Chain A
């Protein structure tokens, strides 16, 4: 049977000449959508997962492995099952992605979200060539050469181009959705361009994340549980060295008995310190950046009571209270800024729309639910147990990304 011709967008010569295609070199870009979670596309991603996980050196690239693990078939099926299935959903058409340079695998997640939601994806990769992204691009390219995926090929375009207003403007003018990673400045830059009236945006500006620990709970855990807690905290703090928007910047100890908090701190941090010593090492410049940042903050912020560090891997910065610019007070590469509060509700004082992830230890889901509702919070989009702060998913930054990048066809 003859298939209906795809609707296509022609890239003008002056724009085309400025593009470098890593995958999907074409002057004509389809903007024909398919249904969300299209079977062939799910198959494609799970094959990509297998291909990546099957690579010999995959252990050297934990970020690639994380992505590959995420897009294995069983996980994709789980995500599909969690979705609202009452409605028929199709992609919007053409999705244009701007991806950041300092999280190499980010483009892969963005691409996966875009194709799972039924769109053609044009993904602008950052100018640097990170090994992790080279590995994924190679795997994608290999897979797309197989005849099995001849119908997926035309929906994936990975491109590079120098910062250029004309090129950006072109893509914005034809895109049905734009996905912008990279922080406040990039988001506002991309908003300068004219977009189609019905185009949608999914943007990821700068965020602030924090962690709440129930002191009472820490006193009750077994040694094994304590080790597991340390492992989880380690992942939250050191995998991205607190540079990710979902990495905790502030640690709030919750408990109305100061002596309980003090005992809990002692137990947790001495174990954690040993744990970090065994597992981590930083680049010399990162030690220095952390130290200078701690000194700078000590002078700038009155709420800093003390700065303690046995070695340079882990800094503990004790805060007496919050101030109105609390979210500007940052720490990286293993800087634990900690404050003691009586109840979780006191935390609401510093929560605004910039807050993204609250990681927690020792609170029930019901209690956290009540905390959000009762305090009518303007911020916090994710509340996850410690250790899960970096888990990427189709629900992110308060968006249901698949939902946002697709449209409902209402049939009744």
Chain B
């Protein structure tokens, strides 16, 4: 068992943190080798069956895209209480992540430790920049549903800013802001939903709402607004211009490792908590890269036990800026994400009548 209670979220220095992580990660590798036949078969064929990694760089990983093709389970099907899916756009295959009670509970505990470091220990009045319909189907979890429900535990009196047709409901929002004008408010939403249905909409209508007492947390990826090439700085500035919100935190994470998210600090860097870490790897040989070199992001997490997702190679490009010395005071690695590996044309004779 992981001693969550007595482990500080952002106070372990990188060497101490790696000592803490390696034991848990090796245990997870061993557990999945014993309990997930597909994982075992894959690792055997790659000759990676030992669960005695000496450093976190040596922990074997799976490409995260594999979850779109293979159902990975390290528990009996009967123990599955929740299935999460990635938010693939229409036509794409989605990842399916199977959770049991233990893993699901751990997700919540870890998420709670991370988020409370940014918003404080108490529940805050919460405004979700999304429509209520997103949480209606609770059996099948999309990343958006999981995000909204996951973050709802940090809020109280949860209100939704958008109607079912995704239009911004001014009356509801103004009433909510007025009611809680004397305390901190948690505002949560997905990066592109906030952009499209909040920022751009208010700019278009030339309307402002003053929520200077708000702490805004957003995540889910920049892909959908990448074509508009909106930088994080511009995002924060234009959000501030219409809302007066200063405290804006992006987070990076994926449904395949829900819970152990990476939050953006006051200085604009994403931080790995004690319960997760990242390694940057070179495309051409997967060797781990030093601080200051861009490459593929590998994510480690202590959470995934019901499926072998504790060490995943993503298709996102990132760069580590340093460890233990961010101006915000948080220990561990801090980094930035630069979007996804670009798709490239494939030559050949496959079906190509376009």
Is A298 within 8 A of B347, CB to CB? no
B267 within 8 A of A: no
When distances are taken between beta carbons in the complex, the residues of chain A under 8 Å from B78 are none
A27 within 8 A of B: no
CB distance from B59 to the nearest CB of A (A): 16
Q: Which of A123-137 contact B (CB under 8 A)?
A: 126-128
Contacts A284-B296, A285-B343, A299-B70 known; 20 new A-B pairs at CB < 8 A: A98-B353, A100-B352, A163-B354, A182-B353, A183-B353, A206-B351, A243-B347, A243-B348, A244-B349, A284-B283, A285-B344, A287-B283, A291-B63, A295-B62, A296-B69, A298-B41, A299-B42, A307-B45, A307-B46, A310-B285
When distances are taken between beta carbons in the complex, the residues of chain B under 8 Å from A284 are 283, 296, 341-342
A-B complex: 6 closest residue pairs judged by Cβ atoms:
A243-B348, A183-B351, A245-B349, A100-B352, A186-B353, A311-B285
A409 within 8 A of B: no
A81 within 8 A of B: no
A185 to B354, CA, bound (A): 12
When distances are taken between beta carbons in the complex, the residues of chain A under 8 Å from B38 are 299
CB distance from A195 to the nearest CB of B (A): 17
When distances are taken between beta carbons in the complex, the residues of chain A under 8 Å from B90 are none
Is A288 within 8 A of B341, CB to CB? yes
- Nearest chain-A residue to B48 (Cβ)? A307
A243 to B347, CA, bound (A): 6
Of the A-B pairs whose beta carbons lie under 8 Å apart in the complex, a sample of 22, sorted by A's number, is A100-B353, A101-B353, A102-B347, A104-B347, A182-B349, A182-B353, A183-B351, A184-B351, A241-B346, A242-B348, A243-B347, A243-B350, A246-B349, A284-B296, A284-B341, A285-B341, A285-B343, A288-B315, A292-B65, A292-B69, A299-B42, A310-B285
Is B45 within 8 A of A305, CB to CB? yes
When distances are taken between beta carbons in the complex, the residues of chain B under 8 Å from A287 are 283-284
Is B352 within 8 A of A101, CB to CB? yes
A186 to B347, CA, bound (A): 17
Given A292-B66, A312-B284, A102 and B45 touching (CB < 8 A)?
Answer: no
B170 within 8 A of A: no
A128 to B63, CA, bound (A): 31
A380 within 8 A of B: no
Residue among A207, A283, A299, A311 making CB contact with B349, cutoff 8 Å: A207
B47 within 8 A of A: yes
Q: Which of A234-281 contact B (CB under 8 A)?
A: 240-247, 281
Is A204 within 8 A of B283, CB to CB? no
When distances are taken between beta carbons in the complex, the residues of chain B under 8 Å from A311 are 284-285
CB distance from B164 to the nearest CB of A (A): 35
When distances are taken between beta carbons in the complex, the residues of chain A under 8 Å from B344 are 283, 285-286
When distances are taken between beta carbons in the complex, the residues of chain A under 8 Å from B66 are 292, 295-296
CB distance from A273 to the nearest CB of B (A): 12
CB distance from B159 to the nearest CB of A (A): 41
A242 to B38, CA, bound (A): 27
When distances are taken between beta carbons in the complex, the residues of chain A under 8 Å from B350 are 102, 183, 206, 243
When distances are taken between beta carbons in the complex, the residues of chain A under 8 Å from B235 are none
**Per-residue interface assignment for chain B, residues 291 to 315, with 1 indicating a CB less than 8 Å from any chain A CB and 0 otherwise:** 0000010000000000000000001
A240 to B46, CA, bound (A): 26
A189 within 8 A of B: yes
A153 to B343, CA, bound (A): 39
When distances are taken between beta carbons in the complex, the residues of chain B under 8 Å from A150 are none
Given A101-B354, A288-B341, A299-B42, A243 and B47 touching (CB < 8 A)?
Answer: no
CB distance from B283 to the nearest CB of A (A): 4
Majority secondary structure of chain B interface residues (helix, strand, loop or mixed): loop
When distances are taken between beta carbons in the complex, the residues of chain A under 8 Å from B338 are none
Given A182-B353, A206-B351, A295 and B286 touching (CB < 8 A)?
Answer: no
Q: Which of B35-80 contact A (CB under 8 A)?
A: 38, 41-42, 45-47, 62-63, 65-66, 69-70
Q: For the complex, count residues of A whose C-beta is within 8 A of B.
A: 51
- Nearest chain-A residue to B41 (Cβ)? A299
A104 to B349, CA, bound (A): 11
B234 within 8 A of A: no
When distances are taken between beta carbons in the complex, the residues of chain A under 8 Å from B157 are none
When distances are taken between beta carbons in the complex, the residues of chain B under 8 Å from A310 are 285
**Per-residue interface assignment for chain B, residues 111 to 139, with 1 indicating a CB less than 8 Å from any chain A CB and 0 otherwise:** 00000000000000000000000000000
B345 within 8 A of A: yes
A295 to B64, CA, bound (A): 11
Given A126-B352, A182-B352, A186-B352, A295 and B42 touching (CB < 8 A)?
Answer: yes
A80 within 8 A of B: no
Given A98-B353, A295-B63, A299-B70, A306 and B45 touching (CB < 8 A)?
Answer: yes
CB distance from A135 to the nearest CB of B (A): 16
A219 within 8 A of B: no
- Interface-central residue, B41, B70, B352, B354, by most chain A CB under 10 Å: B352
Is A298 within 8 A of B42, CB to CB? yes
Is B284 within 8 A of A102, CB to CB? no
Given A184-B351, A244-B349, A282-B284, A298 and B343 touching (CB < 8 A)?
Answer: no
Given A285-B341, A288-B341, A299-B70, A241 and B348 touching (CB < 8 A)?
Answer: yes
When distances are taken between beta carbons in the complex, the residues of chain A under 8 Å from B63 are 288, 291-292, 295
Given A241-B347, A243-B348, A311-B284, A189 and B353 touching (CB < 8 A)?
Answer: yes
A48 within 8 A of B: no
A103 within 8 A of B: yes
Residue among A126, A240, A281, A308 making CB contact with B348, cutoff 8 Å: A240
Is A185 within 8 A of B351, CB to CB? yes
A386 within 8 A of B: no
CB distance from B354 to the nearest CB of A (A): 5
Q: Which of A79-103 contact B (CB under 8 A)?
A: 98, 100-103
When distances are taken between beta carbons in the complex, the residues of chain B under 8 Å from A127 are 354
A304 within 8 A of B: yes
A243 to B41, CA, bound (A): 27
Is A296 within 8 A of B70, CB to CB? yes
Q: Which of A285-324 contact B (CB under 8 A)?
A: 285-288, 291-292, 295-296, 298-299, 304-308, 310-313
Is B285 within 8 A of A206, CB to CB? no
A288 to B65, CA, bound (A): 9
A299 to B283, CA, bound (A): 23
Residue among B62, B343, B349 making CB contact with A206, cutoff 8 Å: B349
- Nearest chain-A residue to B43 (Cβ)? A298
CB distance from A330 to the nearest CB of B (A): 10
When distances are taken between beta carbons in the complex, the residues of chain B under 8 Å from A243 are 346-350
A207 to B349, CA, bound (A): 9
- Nearest chain-A residue to B353 (Cβ)? A186
- Nearest chain-B residue to A313 (Cβ)? B284
